[in-house]
Amino acid sequence: MTALPGQAPQKSIRGLTPSAANGQTLALRGAILSFGHRLDSDSPQFQTFTDLAGHRSGLLFIPDGIVYIVDGLIAWVLPADEAVAQLPVDCPVHRYQDRLIMPGFVDTHTHFPQLEVIGRMGHTLLDWLENYTFPAEARFSDLSHAQRAAQVFLQELSRHGVTTASVFATVHPESADAFFKIAQASRLRMICGKVLMDTNCPKNLCDGSDHGMAQTESLISRWHGRDRLRYSLTPRFAPTSSPEQMRAVGALLQDHPGLHLQSHLAETRQELDWVARLYPHHPSYLDVYQHFGHLGRGTIMGHCIYLSDGDRRVMADTQTAIAFCPSSNLFLGSGLFDLQSALQAGISVGLASDVGGGTSPSMLKTMLDAYKVLKLRDQTLSPEYAFYLATLGGARALGLESVIGSLEAGKEADLIVVNPEATPLLAHRAAASESLSDLLSALITLGDERCIEACYIQGQPVMAQALGT
Ligand code: GUN
Ligand code: ZN
């Protein structure tokens, strides 16, 4: 029995453990697609694609293939004619004719409390935060409100085929607790953190005199590493954290090198000016985070539109990742992310919805917005690279590539089944597609959650409504 060639399972950054074994098997049959594989195979199932900096990477495409899953992990992936003879006779096979079976999407930056402010129009970032977002987040002091919101959010993620996300809660520890609890029941692989902010914010959203650190430590001890959940230190952004809070976050990260850290960086010019006024002795916005020890592998910064070449070098050297948030770039009018320069600098980049500055949890729609943002910068995003960013690219940006992001032996079987005929228009367009690449373009341009026909978490189908009960 041949395991799928490709990346050898890499050492994980943060003590990721496989699930317990009980011998449960399942096979999914359909067109298999997976992005970002190593180029060490001359198998006809591997094609190549390039990113905007000219780096080549492998794409696995098997028009009729089988993913064999044992105990929630991918055991192997093979063409159906080779695989059928090797399947145990009692193994159930879920057959998906004319459907694409691919890794679940990874959203590297989103805010679960902001579903209810999606599409609030008329402002740029700082006014949008003050007028819409902070009042909405203030309602999360009510635990039942937070629970309902977390439930709807996680339900939406699985309906949209997002199986892993890095998620901001609110400043209230109850909001993170509610999120983790429902995420645990959903079995989705989730990263989350209570927002930290203790200055330049409304009183009812302000951390207390210990800067929110005791609440953070308590949440870490309860949730980090529990089942598929991981904790991310979440200072909202430099303007809303005092130097004392920034320092405490850096110290906690040094004490717990396994934690993630998420924040915002260089999203608008107005924000840049504000940070320059607050931290006049720092040569750049990024330098503030670096000074307080926030950078490193496991840290991901949302936006990063206004970076210098020097900033990019620092991010690459420290292995700090970027969450590219194209629909938020466009909706808030913040600016256009320069993906090519980030990739040329060697920075790891993932795709992100940034709901509610972003306009949809759909990674297909987010890919389309990424294409448009980059077009306005004279950069052309290939459909293959867009799908890579939304799967293995995101997993790498979050340091989770040893366990999720591609269809490779040993990885967790978080998979989606994509229907390229989900709407009459998409079916019409798909029928005329000239190549796999063209079909992926059609899916990006016309697709949405209606294309997500099924979602498997650790090899088990999720019914979106099951999360809602
Ligand atoms: N910067 C600080 N907070 C936020 C937020 O909630 N959304 C976005 N897009 N940018 C931010
Ligand atoms: Zn954000």
Going from the first residue of the chain to its last (469 residues), give the mean pLDDT of each consecutive group of 10, the final group possibly shorter. Answer: 29 42 90 92 86 93 98 97 93 97 99 98 97 98 98 98 98 98 98 98 96 97 98 98 98 95 98 98 98 98 98 98 98 98 98 98 98 98 98 98 98 98 98 97 98 98 59
> Could you say which of 397, 432, 454 is where a domain stops?
397
- For residue 260, being part of any structural domain is answered with yes
**Residue 452 and residue 334 share a domain:** no
Of 397, 414, 445, the last residue of a domain is 397
Same domain, 243 and 376: yes
Q: Answer yes or no: is the C-beta of 357 below 6 A from any ligand 1 atom.
A: yes
Residue 154 in any domain: the answer is yes
Residues 203 and 288 placed together within one structural domain of the fold: yes
125 lines ligand 1 (CB under 6 A): yes
What's the pLDDT score for residue 21?
A: 61
Query: What is the Cα gyration radius of the chain?
Result: 21
Angle at 426 between CA 423 and CA 428, to 5 degrees: 105
Q: Which of 13, 21, 127 is nearest to 398 (CA)?
A: 13
Beta-bridge mates of residue 355: 358
pLDDT of residue 464: 52
Check residue 210 and report its DSSP letter.
T
- Are 194 and 246 within one domain? yes
For the question of whether the overall pTM of this predicted structure is more than 0.85, the answer is yes
Residues 273, 270, 357: CA angle, nearest 5 degrees: 140
Non-local CB neighbours of 265 within 8 Å, separated by 6+ positions: 237, 285, 286, 289, 301, 302, 303, 304, 307
Residue 10 lies in a domain: no
Task: Say if CB 405 and CB 48 are below 8 A apart.
Answer: no
pLDDT of residue 22: 77
Does residue 344 sit in the same domain as residue 443?
A: no
- Per the CB < 8 A criterion, the answer to whether 385 and 392 are in contact is no
- Please count the structural domains in the chain: 2
Query: Is residue 343 domain-shared with residue 306, that is, in the same domain?
Result: yes
31 shares a domain with 178: no
- From 124, 127, 234, 354, mutation site for ligand 1 pocket: most ligand atoms within 8 A of C-beta: 354
In a domain, 4, yes or no: no
Q: Do 169 and 216 have their domain in common?
A: yes
Phi and psi torsions of 454, nearest 5°:
-155, 155
Rounded Cα distance, 275 and 285, in Å: 6
Among all bound ligands, the one having the nearest atom to the CA of 200 is 1
For residue 19, the model assigns a pLDDT of 45
Instruction: Identify the three-state secondary structure at position 361.
Output: coil
76 with 4: CB under 8 angstroms?
yes
Q: Is the CB of 414 under 6 A from ligand 1?
A: no
Domain limits for position 453:
18-104+406-463
Distance CA 433, CA 387 (A): 17
Q: 7 in a domain, yes or no?
A: no
Strands 415-418 and 349-351: unpaired
For ligand 2, the distance from its centroid to the CA atom of residue 358, given in whole angstroms, is 8
Amino acid letter, residue 348: S
Residue 5 lies in a domain: no
Q: Which of 397, 424, 439 is the last residue of a domain?
A: 397
Which atom of ligand 1 is the closest one to the Cα of 114?
6
CATH of the domain at 453: 2.30.40.10
Q: What is the residue with the minimal CA distance to atom 9 of ligand 1?
A: 357
Residue 11 placed within a domain: no
Dig out the tokens for 99 from the structure. Answer: 């459907």
Are both 121 and 85 inside the same structural domain? Answer: no
Q: Are residues 325 and 219 in the same domain?
A: yes
> With a 6 A CB cut-off, is 265 part of the ligand 1 pocket?
no
Ligand nearest to the CA of 171: 1
Ligand sitting nearest the alpha carbon of 130? 1
Residue nearest to atom 11 of ligand 1 (CA): 264
**347 lies in the same domain as 448:** no
Answer whether residue 205 is part of any domain: yes
Widest CA span of the chain, in angstroms?
69
Give the CATH number, domain containing residue 163: 3.20.20.140
Whether residues 384 and 322 share a domain: the answer is: yes
